[in-house]
Structure 1
């Protein structure tokens, strides 16, 4: 494992300093020596903490196994390798940097890649507070096949220090390692390993976070893209209800569209096996790199992510949502204005738009109106964003409101300087640096961006602390369930009915959520 584990006696639960003034925490699962940071003078950063045994060798394609480390000292001073993924996310950053006129060679890369990747990171403002701090657990995105817990935009130091919250970021197995497995078509055989990893990390938080100054009874799960979809999936699972009380979904919603079933997952694993055997190896004999390369070849179009296995995910999440069977939790949920714009192929926009209208005839007239007013690219962007994120997100907001929980919906409309000129707009993932206050040097950032950051970091943390992003009774952000109003975040904040609500109503006529 990357985090060094030194065998030694475990002192009573508490806090002390290491020989180099590093913070040391005595927790249920072990003694953790972290890194002192000026912004976290009473706390510290604890990086690369193992929360499960390495899923390698005979533990490949097995549920995560707990580590027996109660009598160990863990040197939590450096990040662990990312889960095996290739250059999927690094290439995404490189393209974004180049679009903004920067050098793509400075794109973020993880501290290596490995199957041994089940680690988490903790940033604490105070290890011995008078009152335990709210806990915010970040689940990274990356289409379930890329990303890592400590991408530059996910570093929790500033959010923790400025807002007085404990920030945790977690890893989970990706792609064929996280959402496929042998005998997937056999009832009872595990297949959702990435989802199991997330649950195991949240269970670690429950056992240990009090020793880091956090409140295990006040946990908010939050994430973006596949991380947000993971949040939504966890909300449909009764067995996870005790692990959190609040949730934030940034650019999710597609978890409530069709998910692969056991038969489809088994067929995908069969294709992977055939490719590996053709290459002279086998699923358990191959290296992680061989498995990834084979997957990229024969499963390039497979929809990785949670599988409807009849066990952990008993039915299509959309059916669970429709029945209202979700864990009650205070909720922030939202999308960015131009989620899909950066993914459109300029050479096929017209044909893609025509295909979309053919598949959604009830919405065709509305999309034609958008096309005439804003152009085909914007119309297709709006249509795809509505289908995959905005509309299912509004549905989740409506159902959660019926659970007598506070629900706040946002639309992130800020386009950085020059972003519209290069076809990005308020792109997918654009809101994350504002939440963590982690604006990359290559991102054009001005006073307006800093002002938005101040609002979003404080609103997210207030929500984690109280269940409301508002200051006392000074309501800036109306409760969606009570008003049907959303917050539109830009250089100036505004409120109003959700954009595209009519488009949602036309695509999903049985769902009146957010209809105008």
Structure 2
């Protein structure tokens, strides 16, 4: 009897062992890849190199092709995040590297009967920090192949310099982070079929700086044909004046000036260690944009506009004459952007996370803030965003930052592209202090609400948002059954948007609130008019 039981145990153990699925395996042009299974179900291929390491002589050059590997490459853990300042980063130094051009793929099936839509995510972080190492499995389980990307940041991603321009065959420098994104999207177009994805149906989506980057890619000649649809979550600074490589625009310091302040000789920088480069860049930024400095970068919520003690970062996408040929607002206004399906939106309380403890608190401080930040349209801003008492100041300042740096650009993009507009307004228990602030929607888009501080309502909203995002990726139309009134933004005053809040509801944006920004930042690049309407 014991022998029989022992034999049965062995048979059971053998069955368990043989029942385990083999690790997922794909073949692409550079070689074979072996992935793993995510706990949420889809297959995961993590840390795939999409370009050669941008190190040594490849530092500050366009991304180069990957060298094919020999044996099967194990891709079961994330690649390193790109280098970023410790003062900003939430990522341990041990998880960063200059060798960081990796992407991650989650797929529900390697051989579906119908190829799945592809969704490529660009992370936020002000072009200075952040990582694409975010779990895409739950979103993929809704029927899409999901890809997340790391791209060069800070001085490594956005340094312009006359020395770099001189050695470039395109007579341009900078925007290496944008070129990384384009290289990643080309990699996806060339390889995603092996993962069960539809190479003819690629949606790029991103949040904050990732969404802003998409706004640039849509006017870049280099990005033509690398994606088919776009979702922009809280883009910042679109349709405001852009820094340029060689000259000042509306008082903005040229990017060449910033590069020369870092080091006059590019060979010196190429031979320096990663830390030396970051230290030199930090010193140059403090000298140019610190107290008493002569530098001025584009208005953005991360900068001095909310905190006079903060030092602006110039490491941001800009007009370089190559990747971004002209001022992006002008290109949009002249109809020179891609004509593709677009969905763009913001959160209801974007500004709270930027205002913090240094927000204007009294009526005189509020008046001074508006006059200084939005000159010469301070009076018009005061009329558009009134505050009658000191208690009104903080909510009014939140509306100003939310509208000026996020809603205005999103609305203009939706209007020029005839896209879908949305707003995220849900305030989970975990976010009571900040409201529906910047970045809060990301957990919902990736299904990451199964944690303390979120309720069943949040899980349901997350499922609805993932369904809408994937439906848009599949068809170019995000609408659910109950949202037929959610139509594209037209060129007239019809401005419907979907509100993702405690319930889903279609509302109308008051178009009149955008006029002051059109006067302040005319797409033509001319001097602000600030005419009272």
Q: Same fold (TM over 0.5)?
A: yes
Query: Is the partner of 1:283 in helix, strand or coil?
Result: helix
Matched, 1:397 2:407: no
Q: Residue 192 of structure 1 corresponds to which residue in structure 2?
A: 175
Equivalents in 1 of 2:53, 2:77: separation in Å?
17
Equivalents in 1 of 2:97, 2:314: separation in Å?
22
Structure 2 counterparts to residues 237-386 of structure 1, below 5 A: 237-263=220-246, 264-273=254-263, 282-299=268-285, 300-349=311-360, 350=362, 351=365, 354-357=368-371, 359=375, 360-361=377-378, 363-370=380-387, 375-386=392-403
Equivalents in 1 of 2:112, 2:257: separation in Å?
52
* 1:435–1:456 Cα contact (<8 Å) kept: yes
Q: Residue 222 of structure 1 corresponds to which residue in structure 2?
A: 205
Partner of residue 102 from structure 2, selected from 114, 119, 129? 119
Partner of residue 137 from structure 2, selected from 138, 149, 157? 157
* 2:52–2:65 Cα contact (<8 Å) kept: yes
1:29 to partner: Cα distance: 2.9
Q: Residue 13 of structure 1 corresponds to which residue in structure 2?
A: none
Equivalents in 2 of 1:136, 1:90: separation in Å?
26
> 1:322–1:465: structure 2 CA closer, same or farther, 3 Å change rule?
same
* 1:413–1:426 Cα contact (<8 Å) kept: yes
Unaligned runs of 5+ in 1: 1-16, 92-107, 402-406
Higher deviation after alignment, 344-353 or 490-499: 344-353
Residues 409-441 of structure 1 deviation map (CA, whole Å, 9 limit, x = unaligned): 111111222634x3x111110000000011374
> 1:119–1:142: structure 2 CA closer, same or farther, 3 Å change rule?
same
1:364 to partner: Cα distance: 2.8
Q: Residue 10 of structure 2 corresponds to which residue in structure 1?
A: none
* 1:414–1:491 Cα contact (<8 Å) kept: yes
Equivalents in 2 of 1:109, 1:295: separation in Å?
20
Query: Is the partner of 1:22 in helix, strand or coil?
Result: coil
Equivalents in 1 of 2:385, 2:175: separation in Å?
40
1:293 to partner: Cα distance: 2.6
Equivalents in 2 of 1:316, 1:345: separation in Å?
31
Partner of residue 140 from structure 1, selected from 113, 118, 123? 123
Unaligned runs of 5+ in 2: 1-17, 247-253, 286-310, 524-532
What is the total number of aligned residue pairs between the two structures?
462
Residues 443-488 of structure 1 deviation map (CA, whole Å, 9 limit, x = unaligned): 5101221121111011101110111112468626333338421111
Higher deviation after alignment, 360-369 or 307-316: 360-369
Higher deviation after alignment, 343-352 or 133-142: 343-352
> 1:474–1:372: structure 2 CA closer, same or farther, 3 Å change rule?
same
Equivalents in 2 of 1:65, 1:371: separation in Å?
57
Equivalents in 2 of 1:38, 1:294: separation in Å?
43
1:372 to partner: Cα distance: 5.2
Equivalents in 2 of 1:232, 1:434: separation in Å?
22
> 1:354–1:157: structure 2 CA closer, same or farther, 3 Å change rule?
same
Higher deviation after alignment, 391-400 or 357-366: 357-366
Residues 211-249 of structure 1 deviation map (CA, whole Å, 9 limit, x = unaligned): 000001000000000000011111112342311111000
Which entry has the higher C-alpha Rg, 1 or 2? 2
> 1:36–1:496: structure 2 CA closer, same or farther, 3 Å change rule?
closer
Q: Residue 294 of structure 2 corresponds to which residue in structure 1?
A: none
* 1:362–1:507 Cα contact (<8 Å) kept: no
Equivalents in 1 of 2:522, 2:358: separation in Å?
35
Query: Is the partner of 1:247 in helix, strand or coil?
Result: strand
Matched, 1:493 2:507: no
1:168 to partner: Cα distance: 0.2
1:182 to partner: Cα distance: 3.7
Equivalents in 1 of 2:408, 2:343: separation in Å?
15
Equivalents in 1 of 2:35, 2:183: separation in Å?
21
* 1:363–1:507 Cα contact (<8 Å) kept: no
Partner of residue 155 from structure 2, selected from 167, 171, 176? 176
Q: Residue 61 of structure 2 corresponds to which residue in structure 1?
A: 62
Equivalents in 2 of 1:510, 1:169: separation in Å?
36
1:127 to partner: Cα distance: 0.4
> 1:487–1:472: structure 2 CA closer, same or farther, 3 Å change rule?
closer
Q: Residue 111 of structure 2 corresponds to which residue in structure 1?
A: 128
Query: Is the partner of 2:479 in helix, strand or coil?
Result: coil
1:252 to partner: Cα distance: 0.4
Equivalents in 1 of 2:244, 2:385: separation in Å?
35
Equivalents in 2 of 1:439, 1:90: separation in Å?
23
* 1:81–1:110 Cα contact (<8 Å) kept: no
- TM-score calculated relative to the size of structure 2: 0.80
The CA RMSD over aligned residues, in Å, is: 2.8
Matched, 1:419 2:419: no
Equivalents in 2 of 1:317, 1:357: separation in Å?
26
